[in-house]
Amino acid sequence: MIIKKNDNVIISSGKDKGKKGKVVKSIPTKGSVIVEGANLLKKRQRAKKAGQKGQTVSIAMPIKASAVMLFCGHCAKGVRAGFNKIADKKVRVCKKCNKEI
Ligand SMILES: [Zn+2]
């Protein structure tokens, strides 16, 4: 999978389209990623102890890796990425500017 943990991505489809965030987890077996602040699911959490109040927490749910684009700092936008061989090393590059991302 081309997207890894800690990558900066932009959501390219769905309800969070256009949102930028950081990948907190990549799930290659499912072809999904979890992006910080994207695809949030609000969940009510019950009080753990008597006397405590339950609270609503937002949990980022996985989204399809195909629905996110890598953010290229050189192009300053979401781009498609590919692999290129630079000095015999396989590196991930932006398909627009050909720079490593
Ligand atoms: Zn670029």
pLDDT of residue 21: 97
Measured in angstroms, how far is the CA atom of residue 71 from the centroid of ligand 1?
8
Residue 66 main-chain phi, psi, to 5 deg = -75, -10
Measured in angstroms, how far is the CA atom of residue 92 from the centroid of ligand 1?
11
pLDDT band at 52 (very low <50, low <70, confident <90, very high): confident
pTM of the model: 0.84
Does the 8-72 domain belong in CATH 3.30.479.10? no
- What residues contact residue 75 under an 8 Å CB cut-off, 6+ apart? 94, 96, 97
- Tens of pLDDT, residue by residue over 39-50, are 999 999 888 888
pLDDT band at 54 (very low <50, low <70, confident <90, very high): confident
Instruction: State CA 37 to chain mean position distance.
Output: 9
